[in-house]
Amino acid sequence: MLTLKRIKQNSQAVVEALARKGVEAREAIAQVVDLDQARRALQAEADTLQANINQASKEIGTLMRQGQQQAAEQLKANVATFKEKVKAATERMGQIDHELSEILVQLPNLPHESVPDGRTADDNLVVRTEGELPEPSAARLPHWEVAARLGIINFELGVKITGSGFPLYLGAGARLERSLINFFLEENSKAGYLEVMPPIMVNADSAYATGQLPDKEGQMYHVPQDGFYLVPTAEVPLTNIYRDAILEERELPVRITAYTPCFRREAGSYGKDVRGLNRLHQFDKVEIVCIDTPARSYDRLEEMVQHVELLLQKLELPYRVLKLCAGDMSFTSALTYDLEVYSAGQDRWLEVSSVSNFEDYQANRLQLRYRSETEKRNVLAHTLNGSSLALPRVVAALLENHQTAHGVRIPKALQPWMGVEELRWK
The answer to whether the annotation marks 353 as part of a ligand binding site is yes
Is 351 marked within a binding site? yes
CA nearest 284: which of 265, 262, 306? 262
Annotated binding-site residue? 300 = no
Q: Cβ of 310: how many Cβ atoms within 10 Å? A: 12
Q: How far apart are CA 251 and CA 308, in angstroms?
A: 24
Annotated binding residue 352:
yes
Separation of alpha carbons 349 and 318, rounded Å: 10
Q: Is 354 annotated as a binding residue?
A: yes
- The neighbour count for residue 307, using CB atoms within 10 Å, is 19
Query: Nearest 5 degrees, angle CA 243-CA 246-CA 248?
Result: 135
DSSP 108-123: PPPPPTTSPP-SSGGG
The partner residues of 372 in beta bridges, in order of sequence, read 377
Using the 8-state DSSP alphabet, how is residue 219 labeled? G
Identity of residue 152: I
Distance CA 109, CA 89 (A): 31
Q: State the Cα–Cα distance between residues 13 and 186, nearest whole angstrom.
A: 43
333 is in an annotated binding site: no
Report yes or no: 359 and 300 within 8 Å, Cβ to Cβ.
no
Binding-site residue set for L-serine: 233, 264, 287, 385
Binding-site residue set: 233, 264-266, 287, 351-354, 385
Binding-site residue set for ATP: 264-266, 351-354
